[in-house]
Amino acid sequence: MNLLKIRNSSILVIVVLSFFGITNGYSQDHKSIYKRERIKLTEGWLFMKYKSNPDPLIYDVRPEIKEVNDSKVADSKPEEAIQLESKENVLKKWILPSANDFIKDPSKKHIRPMGNPGSDFAFVKTDFNDNHWEQVNVPHDWAIKGPFYTGDNPEVGGGMGRLPSHGVAWYRKKITIPSTDQGKNIYLDIDGAMSYAMVWLNGHLVGGWPYGYNSFRLDLTPYLNFGGENQLAIRIDNPNHSARWYPGGGIYRNVWLTKVEPVHVAQWGTFITTPEVSTNEATINLVLNIENNSKLSQNIEVKTAIYVADDFGKPKGKAITSFPSKTIGLNADEKEQYESQIKLQDPKLWGVYPLQKQHLYIAQTTIYSNGKAIDSYNTPFGIRKIEFNPTTGLFVNGEKIKIQGVNQHHDLGALGAAFNVRAAERQLEILRELGCNAIRFSHNPPAPELLDLTDRMGFLVINEVFDSWERKKTPHDFHLIFPDWHEADTRSFIRRDRNHPSVIAWSFGNEVGEQYTDAEGASIAQKLHDIVLEEDPTRPASASQNYAKPDMPFSKVMDFISLNYQGEGIRDAPAYLHLKGGIRTSPLYPAFQKAFPDKMIVSSETASALSTRGSYIFPVAHENSAPVSDGVGGNPVTKEVSAYELYTAQFGSSPDKVFATQDRHPYVAGEFVWSGWDYLGEPTPYYSARSSYCGIIDLAGFKKDRFYLYQSRWRPDLPLAHILPHWNWENRIGEITPVHVFTSGDEAELFVNGQSLGRKKKENFEYRIRWDEVEYQPGELKVIAYKNGKYWAKETIQTTGKATKLSASVDRSKIKADGQDLAFITVKITDENGLMVPTANNSIHFSIEGQGEIVATDNGDPADLVSFATHERKAFNGMALAIVRAHKGTIKLIITAEGLKKTIVIIKSN
């Protein structure tokens, strides 16, 4: 392959064009030829989950769990795996061949044994009566409605979100394949099923895929009844103690039926790169993989034209250029790869929001046999030039870009793991408002549509595949299948996503236990690294390090240095010295830079600061960073962490400390904060809660005070002044109540009831302005911020009156009536003057009129164990959320609370 990868002593340059999705085929004049069909299988699934005693159709045996510590510190050392022997009656040997397309060495491909296990089991049979099963649509998360497990020894602990994601369940669906499809290849494409998916069709075991985060394809063709109904049956087995966060359960991403002629573009079969890019000209390479699954040799002609993509990802207008047509001879049952190259004049480049535009193209490949189009395959892509410079950081299209990133887990809050495009888009919109320009998808491949969004919205992405390798973090995590599946999972992950313009680097591991095993661990890292570069030699690959040091062999494997917390130091500040156990290290940016002067450094996880939105606990730490504990930033009774944004996990640091460390080491390319949004599970420090405390934004999508601290740094040209805490403290009159201000200015003056408390400047390596001796008196707080000596911004907050009414706003007043689109309604409890009452926790009732439904409610409180499906939700610190789906026409969301004036939100749908 003629792909560009330039390395010298100081710089890595990567230039790539990328695809972000595949649509139905189009002929060259855009008239649909329907030779390739891709049908979304959303509705009409029947679902059953066992309450106990599941069936014996297991993938493989698992180790017995004798002891588990759900609340151990996140940077605890991973443990060695327990060795087990498989039994003869497990189905693993029949499932492993599903990986064969992603195994390079032919001698290591799996041979399917004789027999058809499970064929006599009732649920896979076509005549089984499933009328009593629950009807669901996919994507579907069986656990999100709860109920939450409570108490000290729950079946599912706080680490996995206290929700019933574990267990075994079945999905069944009938599909009709017309007789006119006879002779075609029919595939089932599953974007994600959690986990150990095994698929039967008409009683035949087709195959499966154990890893719940990877997309996979199964060939249904040999088992189909053409001209009639066909019965799909999918078994999902999601073990408890399999993750450190909420995994969700079920078929939680989209499912597709793909129909193609025997000669067709292979799965994820295009790879487009550009060896040279400038504003005047781009050289475009196309690598195309074609399959001939027929029993006859064929001569085909291949044509690929390039179009500008419209706002919906479709070709717009006429083709702007074309690759030379190619005639290829294909033997029966053969795969063929070929390359072609053209030059595009005056290319429009893809870049990072908001500094650059997000231009996208579509390469439309059509295969002809005897002059007749037999397949058409669309490859959206973007042209951009990426440079990894070890001394000056990241450059996109020649422009320096400071990485202002966050980590994101895969759940969507109250919607759970079931992927929804609008919910994901809303998350990214709020992050973009923050000033965030980069996402690290931790610690697994995202839904493919999420990368479509990052392409369209201009985010940079580090795409990650594994949280563990051979050594385990939880008893039933990925280490159980790593030996059999690491190659297939890595190759399929790269092939699916390798041409997204937003993806700038690969991560093949996160804080893995192999950091601790010296050369042995480095050898595994090298094996994974090499697989990644075989699939995509145009991007750098790394694994994040929270333990490995510059002199360890693990670090030498990496193309760039990806540090978790080690840059700013772990447990090294004065407030952390009393902590026992865990990793302890001083800031290591200089040591890594000295050891690897030719590698760019990025902090793949920073901060892990903790807070509960709108909750303030006294006294306030004098240090700029301190670990939370009971009574020191934390309240174990209410399970709240103070929102003064100074408190952290044991291994973490406050934003202030992180900013200072990065500013002292300007060669660091930037950071990915842990985390952008709160997420389900891992509720440090209170594992009796349901969700994390580390987000800049809470689980409902409401901004914490920390949002404005990051915004003041990441959007320095935005006039901003933000005061904390709120000013409703009827039990603190005359008591010291510190006031902190986050501002993009460089100095500020604070007024309490009109009296100035002085004008203060930010000193070097300070990122907030503090008045720590303010005595609380009801009334008004006002801050005026200045920049370069001139007025910049102001904010005023007041002691409110009593709660008297409800106020509501909707993110969009018109949505699609497609069964997927959502409206998010924010509810505030206010006083008579419309000021939000920040201490109000009234119970709010939601009801709906018209053809719509209330999907979920939330309030952002990590300790709230009321089901997300409830229509009655207590406000938390003045706010609550409702999520609504419209089916047709106009709907009314009626919001009431005892003693408060109600409000109504009107939502229209198309």
Angle of helix 482-497 relative to helix 518-535, nearest 10 degrees?
A: 40
The answer to whether 562 and 581 have CB atoms below 8 angstroms apart is no
Convert the pLDDT of each residue in 800-858 to its tens digit: 999 999 999 999 999 999 999 999 999 999 999 999 999 999 999 999 999 999 999 99
- Preceding amide of 139 cis, omega within 30: yes
Q: Whole-angstrom Cα distance, residue 232 to residue 587? A: 54
Q: pLDDT value at position 425?
A: 98
Q: Whole-angstrom Cα distance, residue 515 to residue 78? A: 10
Convert the pLDDT of each residue in 431-447 to its tens digit: 999 999 999 999 999 99
Stretch 151-175: mean pLDDT: 96
pLDDT at 17 exceeding the cut of 60: no
Stretch 266-287: mean pLDDT: 94
Q: Percentage of the chain surpassing pLDDT 90?
A: 91
The answer to whether 282 and 343 have CB atoms below 8 angstroms apart is yes
The answer to whether 555 and 596 have CB atoms below 8 angstroms apart is yes
List phi, psi (to 5°) of 654. -70, 160
Residue 433, burial from CB neighbour count under 10 angstroms (0-12, 13-18, 19+): middle
Alpha-carbon radius of gyration of the chain: 28
pLDDT level of residue 58 (50, 70, 90 thresholds): very high
Stretch 676-692: mean pLDDT: 97
Number of Cβ within a 10 Å radius of residue 355: 13
Q: pLDDT value at position 7?
A: 37
Convert the pLDDT of each residue in 498-533 to its tens digit: 989 999 999 999 999 999 999 999 999 999 999 999
DSSP 389-420: ETTTEEEETTEEE-EEEEEE-S--GGGTTS--
What are the tokens at 296?
Answer: 């006859």
pLDDT level of residue 86 (50, 70, 90 thresholds): low
Q: Tokens 């000295």 map to which residue?
A: 594
pLDDT level of residue 69 (50, 70, 90 thresholds): confident
Q: Tokens 């719940």 map to which residue?
A: 212
- The reported pTM is 0.95
Q: pLDDT value at position 324?
A: 95
Q: pLDDT value at position 389?
A: 97
pLDDT level of residue 88 (50, 70, 90 thresholds): low
Q: Whole-angstrom Cα distance, residue 431 to residue 421? A: 15
What SS3 string covers 839-865? CCCCEEEEEEEEEEEEEEEECCCCCCC
What are the tokens at 643?
Answer: 């929102």
- Residue 362: partners with Cβ closer than 8 Å, 6 or more residues away: 306, 307, 308, 309, 313, 314, 315, 378, 379, 380, 381
The CA-CA-CA angle for residues 655, 660, 663, to 5°, reads 120
Residue 774 DSSP label = P
* Alpha-helix runs per DSSP H in 651-770: 655-664, 705-714
Extended beta strands in 725-813, E state: 739-743, 747-752, 755-761, 769-771, 780-787, 790-798, 805-810
Of 511, 645, 671, 682, which residue is the catalytic one?
Answer: 511
Break the chain down into helix, strand, coil percent, rounded to 5: 15, 40, 50
Q: pLDDT value at position 4?
A: 34
pLDDT level of residue 66 (50, 70, 90 thresholds): confident
Stretch 671-679: mean pLDDT: 98
- Residue 35: partners with Cβ closer than 8 Å, 6 or more residues away: 25, 260, 261, 373, 374, 375, 376
Q: Whole-angstrom Cα distance, residue 443 to residue 478? A: 12
74 CA to centre of own chain: 19
Convert the pLDDT of each residue in 239-276 to its tens digit: 999 999 999 999 999 999 999 999 999 999 999 998 89
The answer to whether 704 and 726 have CB atoms below 8 angstroms apart is no
Extended beta strands in 495-569, E state: 503-510, 541-544, 561-564
Q: pLDDT value at position 370?
A: 92
What are the tokens at 755?
Answer: 């009296």
Q: Tokens 């940077």 map to which residue?
A: 75
pLDDT at 30 exceeding the cut of 80: no
Q: Whole-angstrom Cα distance, residue 49 to residue 194? A: 13
DSSP 127-189: T---TTSEEE-SS--TTTT-PPP-SSS-SS-GGGTTS---EEEEEEEEEEE-GGGTTSEEEEE
Stretch 701-710: mean pLDDT: 98
pLDDT at 570 exceeding the cut of 50: yes
Stretch 553-562: mean pLDDT: 98
pLDDT at 472 exceeding the cut of 90: yes
Q: Whole-angstrom Cα distance, residue 266 to residue 446? A: 22
Convert the pLDDT of each residue in 126-162 to its tens digit: 999 999 999 999 999 999 999 999 998 999 999 999 9
- Preceding amide of 410 cis, omega within 30: no
Q: pLDDT value at position 74?
A: 80
- Residue 886: partners with Cβ closer than 8 Å, 6 or more residues away: 815, 817, 821, 823, 850, 851, 852, 907, 908, 909
Q: pLDDT value at position 65?
A: 85
What spatial distance separates the first Cα and last Cα of the chain, rounded to whole Å?
47
Q: Is 605 assigned a catalytic role? A: yes
Residue 828 DSSP label = E
The answer to whether 778 and 760 have CB atoms below 8 angstroms apart is no
- Residue 31: partners with Cβ closer than 8 Å, 6 or more residues away: none
What SS3 string covers 612-664? CCCCCCCCCCCCCCEECEECEEEECCCCEECCCCCEECCCCCCHHHHHHHHHH
The answer to whether 909 and 818 have CB atoms below 8 angstroms apart is no
Of 487, 605, 645, 671, which residue is the catalytic one?
Answer: 605
Q: Whole-angstrom Cα distance, residue 635 to residue 686? A: 9
What are the tokens at 138?
Answer: 């996919």
Q: pLDDT value at position 751?
A: 98
Q: Is 520 assigned a catalytic role? A: no
Convert the pLDDT of each residue in 364-394 to its tens digit: 999 999 999 999 999 999 999 999 999 999 9
Q: Tokens 């327990």 map to which residue?
A: 82
